[in-house]
């Protein structure tokens, strides 16, 4: 075999940040297409996965290991209630720790006793009480719930480290995860941003600039 170099660039990022070179040896790579996808993966990672998050949890931290994809329901970031804990369970009716906004095709999701993700359609909401389409099997009191809607999506992160603290809690450090990246790299798909907040950045108006 003979070594060769495949150059891959992101012109938009070069215009923003200038030229930054990264040399990578793709061990076992035998085609230009494979070399291109290797470089494209690195570029898209730098472009799309820029945020990190650190948070502390209780025993739930034992369910996560590095590499896991974590769904984070941050009410403050979302600008609306999309996550919390269950205060009471009466058959298909749950009492949540906060009120939620409800419309058709909303689902309540949770992690059951087997550490499996479950989601059930919500049929009615009255204050903090939520009625589900079926019994929430495996849901426990004070269990964590999240709201799945078509307007606001929870944020996705890849768990990097789990650190045990002295007081019996666990600190999780995670990196932003973009599920569209594989399709973008392999199939040339266009990136469609996920709406993770109802808070909109206001448009600047009547902005004046003076040269000094």
Residue of 94, 145, 95 lying closest to 117 (CA atoms)? 145
Q: Which is higher by pLDDT, 174 or 198? A: 174
In whole angstroms, give the CA distance from residue 131 to residue 122: 6
Would you kindly state where each structural domain of the chain is located, as residue ranges? 1-48, 53-73+154-191, 76-152
- The pLDDT tens digits for 160-182 are 999 999 888 999 999 999 999 99
Mean pLDDT, the chain, whole residue set: 91
* Residue 92 in this model has a pLDDT that exceeds 80: yes
Question: What kind of fold does domain 76-152 have according to CATH?
Answer: Thrombin, subunit H (2.40.10)
**Cβ count within 10 A of residue 44:** 18
5 by Cβ neighbours in 10 Å (0-12 / 13-18 / 19+) ranks as exposed
- At residue 1 the predicted structure's pLDDT band, cuts being 50, 70 and 90, is low
- Which pLDDT belongs to residue 73? 92
Q: Where are the alpha helices (DSSP H) in the chain?
A: 11-17, 32-48, 75-78, 181-187
Task: Give yes or no for a contact between 174 and 53, defined as CB atoms under 8 angstroms apart.
Answer: yes
pLDDT at 124: 94
Average pLDDT, integer, range 136-153: 92
Task: Report the C-alpha gap between 70 and 62 in whole angstroms.
Answer: 13
Residues 81 and 75 sit within 8 Å (Cβ to Cβ)? yes
Assess whether pLDDT exceeds 90 at residue 83.
yes
Please count the CA atoms within 13 angstroms of the CA of 32 that sit on its side-chain side: 5
Q: How many CB atoms lie within 10 A of CB 149?
A: 20
Q: Can you tell me whether residue 65 is helix, strand or coil?
A: coil
pLDDT score at 200: 81
Specify the pLDDT at position 208: 78
Q: Tell me the C-alpha to C-alpha distance, in Å, between residue 80 and each of 103, 153, 169, 199.
A: 14, 11, 27, 9
Q: What pLDDT score does 205 carry?
A: 76
User: What is the pLDDT confidence band of residue 84, given thresholds at 50, 70 and 90?
Assistant: very high
């Amino acid at each position: 075999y003979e070594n060769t170099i495949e150059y891959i660039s992101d012109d938009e990022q070069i215009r923003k940040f200038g030229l930054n070179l990264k040399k990578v040896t793709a061990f076992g790579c035998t085609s230009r297409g494979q070399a291109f996808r290797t470089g494209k993966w690195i570029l898209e990672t730098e472009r799309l996965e820029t945020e990190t998050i650190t948070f502390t949890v209780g025993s739930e931290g034992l369910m996560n290991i590095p590499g896991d994809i974590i769904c984070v329901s941050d009410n403050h970031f979302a600008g609306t209630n999309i996550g919390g804990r269950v205060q009471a369970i009466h058959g298909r009716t749950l009492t949540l720790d906060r009120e939620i906004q409800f419309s058709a095709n909303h689902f309540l999701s949770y992690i059951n006793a087997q550490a499996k993700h479950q989601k059930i359609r919500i049929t009615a909401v009255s204050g903090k009480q939520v009625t589900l389409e079926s019994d929430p099997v495996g849901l426990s009191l004070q269990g964590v719930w999240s709201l799945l809607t078509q307007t606001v999506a929870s944020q996705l992160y890849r768990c990097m480290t789990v650190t045990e603290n002295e007081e019996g809690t666990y600190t999780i450090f995670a990196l932003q995860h973009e599920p569209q990246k594989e399709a973008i790299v392999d199939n040339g798909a266009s990136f469609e941003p996920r709406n993770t907040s109802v808070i909109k950045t206001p448009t600047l108006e009547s902005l004046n600039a003076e040269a000094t």
